[in-house]
Amino acid sequence: MGSVDRSVEASNQRYRGMLFEQSIMDAGKPEVSVVLPVYNESSILRSNVLLVESVVKGITSSYEIIIVEDGSTDGSDRIAETMSQENPRIIHLHSGTRLGKGNALKKAFKYCKGETVVFMDIDLATNLRHVSELIGLIRSGHAVVVGSRLARGARVRRPISRKIASMAYNLLVNVLFYDGVFDHQCGFKGFNRQALAKVIDDVSDGDFFFDTEIIVRLKRKRFSVVDLPLEWTEPRVSYLHEGPLRMLFKLLALRFSL
């Protein structure tokens, strides 16, 4: 494709995005909902939410940002509430007790109003240039976009032990479910609202296995799922959220329940 053709195609994509955005605005709903799960992130919360908003509003003027704050004890709740009072596009969903990541995300997904739902970890391990790519893929007709640290083209900086563990886990998921997805647990995903609504009540896990379960269920319903290779940097503070035996048990339980 020549440079003129590429320029025309880029212009056409921007035009289609503008038309889609306008149609959603005319319907009185935001085009994009960005969901940020938060637990005890007071040191980075304000700066990272503002950074996310600066990126999103460069893509669409029709958006909402939902901080789903899950029983924080370090003042994150007060920061999130203040930000929501300062900016009507920022919404704070608070839980007085810890729900777990999966339950918090389910709460936010049911609340949000956007036709495209994006969720990302508040540590912003994923390079934010991928936000535009993700939204573009949903606009083009994909039901689900899964950020991937393992797909060809990904650029990842993390300890080799974590890479091996991630590869082994995702290989096991594919052996059990044949879903063809490279990276089920990465905290950067996008959904078409209609697809999300079809499975959200069926997802039973309330913690970190939620990420895998929702993708498996979406694939089982034959929704279009595409991998998006990421530039991704391991956070300086990173925790194994659930032990490998617990994750294995949950995988087997899901396999026999479907």
Q: Who's near 148: CB < 8 A, 6+ residues apart?
A: 154, 181, 182, 183, 186, 227, 228, 229, 230
Q: Who's near 94: CB < 8 A, 6+ residues apart?
A: 69, 77, 80, 81
Of the candidates 212, 63, 233, 222, the one whose C-alpha atom is nearest the C-alpha of residue 156 is 233
Q: Could you list the mean pLDDT of each consecutive 10-residue stretch along the chain, which spans 258 residues?
A: 44 49 60 97 97 98 97 96 98 95 96 97 96 97 97 94 93 96 96 96 96 97 96 73 85 95
**What ranges do the domains of the chain cover?**
28-257
Fold for the domain defined by 28-257 = Spore Coat Polysaccharide Biosynthesis Protein SpsA; Chain A (3.90.550)
Please tell me the predicted confidence (pLDDT) of residue 244.
Answer: 84
Please tell me the predicted confidence (pLDDT) of residue 28.
Answer: 72
Structure tokens at 86: 């300062």
Q: What angle, 0 to 180 degrees and rounded to 10, lies between the N-to-C axes of helices 210-220 and 244-257?
A: 20
Instruction: Please say whether the dihedral angle defined by the alpha carbons of residues 147, 148, 149 and 155, taken in this order, is positive or negative.
Output: negative
Residue 126, strand partner residues: 232
Decide: 97 and 16 in contact? Cβ < 8 Å. no
- Measured at the alpha carbon of residue 144, what is the angle toward residues 140 and 146, in degrees to the nearest 5? 115
Q: Who's near 83: CB < 8 A, 6+ residues apart?
A: 46, 49, 67, 90, 92
**70 annotated active-site:** no
d(CA 19, CA 239): 42
Please tell me the predicted confidence (pLDDT) of residue 27.
Answer: 55
Decide: 149 and 184 in contact? Cβ < 8 Å. no
Catalytic residue among 121, 179, 205, 211: 211
Please tell me the predicted confidence (pLDDT) of residue 240.
Answer: 45
